[in-house]
Structure 1
């Protein structure tokens, strides 16, 4: 049986990730281990014991956020298509906290290329949204073969950059999620009605 990490190890890791998130939001291009150590109140060697480079730390920060939405989705017991609404609302709350940093960390590779290439972040995203999206597809009489296309569309329409752009125009995050949900459902229903080829 694996032993649990020591409390000081967990505490330090959280301090490092919190400091990294703060710096990513402020100046993502200049994220360094030294800057993270200073902001976290830890020594540089201590931070290096957890993360071998700033790039590794960036990846861990992204995974931490993706894990939050995946875990919420898995633990949510909401019935029917309301599950999709609940997971979307949680995504909105996550964006309000982490969004500015996530905007700076978006990959240059295409979504489907990463999804089909086995990118761990994309796998986590799939795990978070597969159950909610498949419920929406079934409720709208849309064949399950459209799932990857629906996931692709969700990733595009609920991108942190675009959600924050809409909230900057005076909409609350709740209103923004509602606006984009209506557009999303309209898009996948149009695919069904036009017998669009699957992505």
Structure 2
């Protein structure tokens, strides 16, 4: 009986952890979109209807909470990529469309969260967020490299170019700069520019 009670308490504890973390992540996203200057840990905890102590127990720093928020969005993209039956440029362009769709919801919050370190530094340091970017884009980018005849050993640079060219801040700016480009025009402009950058890596 005692063992069963401990087991039940453990399950409830895990459920509480998952629920509370999700509430904090949702609250962080809402505040980063609506009032980024005041998106402090106490404000996020209040919005999540949790104590500040509880918030810090799950995320010891605000930076760790931001990182977890970014990671949760990127996991969505990674899972979409891994489940896709497409190949080559068709795969890449479909995942780009998915990325832009995610940015319509999460982009304004993601724009507020930026690392001071360079992309390749974080990639080679096994940063969790950049690792998920890698997992989401490895197959689409490697297939594009093969289709365009670019050596696969250029993958890290191709991934870095993707990260720079399809940055949420720039995409948001291009789409919402009225009188300029539509969403579809923005996507196609960036895709063709990216293909050009990849072809440029093989130029002598």
Q: TM-score range by the shorter chain?
A: 0.7 to 0.9
Q: Does structure 1 residue 188 correspond to structure 2 residue 198?
A: yes
Q: TM-score, normalised by structure 2?
A: 0.84
8 Å contact from structure 2 (residues 87, 143) kept in 1: no
Larger Rg: 2
Runs of 4+ in 1 over 6 A off after TM superposition: 2-5
The corresponding residue for 2:150 is 142
Cα pair distance change 1:3/1:41, threshold 3 Å: closer
- Map 1:1-199 → 2, pairs under 5 A: 7-170=15-178, 171-192=181-202, 194-195=203-204
CA RMSD of aligned residues (A): 2.2
8 Å contact from structure 1 (residues 92, 174) kept in 2: no
Structure 1 unaligned regions, length at least 5: none
| SS of 2:87 mapped into structure 1 | coil
Q: TM-score, normalised by structure 1?
A: 0.86
Structure 2 unaligned regions, length at least 5: 1-9
Distance (whole Å) between structure 2 residues aligned to residue 4 and residue 91 of structure 1: 35
What is the count of residue pairs matched by the alignment? Answer: 193
